[in-house]
């Protein structure tokens, strides 16, 4: 359906039907505007965020598994 055909069809509707069309359009606008930030978040890159690389110079974290094991042993006294 072209824009012109849609407008002709809309103009031929009774007033109550035109209100329903307007309500539906408002609903769709609200629905897709609410989805917009979610879509933007999916494509967001974290490369430039300040927390990326904040522990890169921590030598004790080079082997994160060993670090976690040591922390658990220190805190809880076992090799959990």
pLDDT digits (tens, 9 = 90+) for 14-46: 999 999 999 999 999 888 887 666 556 666 777
The total number of structural domains that make up the chain? 1
Q: What value does the mean pLDDT take over residues 5-19?
A: 93
Residue 46 DSSP label: -
Note whether residue 23 is domain-resident.
yes
The residue assigned the tokens 């076992």 is 78
Note whether residue 26 is domain-resident.
yes
Check residue 50 and give its pLDDT.
80
Check residue 40 and give its pLDDT.
61
**Distance between CA atoms of residues 80 and 3, nearest Å:** 66
Note whether residue 34 is domain-resident.
yes
Domain with 36 in it: 3-41
């Amino acid at each position: 359906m072209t824009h012109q055909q849609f407008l002709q069809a809309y103009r031929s509707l009774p007033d109550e039907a035109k209100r329903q069309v307007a309500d539906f359009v408002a609903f769709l606008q609200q629905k897709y505007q609410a989805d917009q930030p979610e879509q933007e978040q999916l494509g967001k890159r974290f490369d430039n965020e300040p927390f990326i690389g904040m522990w890169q110079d921590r030598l004790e974290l080079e082997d994160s598994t060993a670090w976690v094991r040591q922390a658990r042993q220190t805190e809880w006294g076992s090799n959990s």
